[in-house]
Amino acid sequence: MESSEAALPPELACILDALYLALQQGQAPLSLARLSKRCALRMSTLRRFLAALEDAGIVSVAYQENGTGTAALTALGLQLRT
């Protein structure tokens, strides 16, 4: 039987792993620019994935007026990751 992570698209797995690692290293929330770079995703693609994760309650995203933002796992996201 495959793990649930293996069933995820690799982009989602990368996003979740990066956010989990940032949390474990005390660097949460993670900037969207850094997350985009770590997962090698265009910002528009990253934002689409984050919107879906936020709708599911797995990730919390905060956007600033200047267009930058941060993302972090929610309690539900952390539960799913562990």
Q: What is the pLDDT of residues 2-54, one digit of tens each?
A: 455 558 899 999 999 999 999 999 998 999 999 999 999 999 999 999 999 99
Q: Where are the beta strands (DSSP E) in 1-82?
A: 30-31, 59-63, 69-73
Flag whether pLDDT at 1 surpasses 70: no
* Residue with the two structure tokens 């562990």: 82
- Terminal C-alpha separation, the chain: 18
pTM for this predicted structure:
0.87
Q: Which CATH class is domain 8-81?
A: mainly alpha
CB 15 within 8 A of CB 49: yes
pLDDT of amino acid 80: 83
pLDDT band per the 50, 70, 90 thresholds, residue 75: very high
pLDDT band, very low/low/confident/very high, at 82 (cuts 50, 70, 90): low
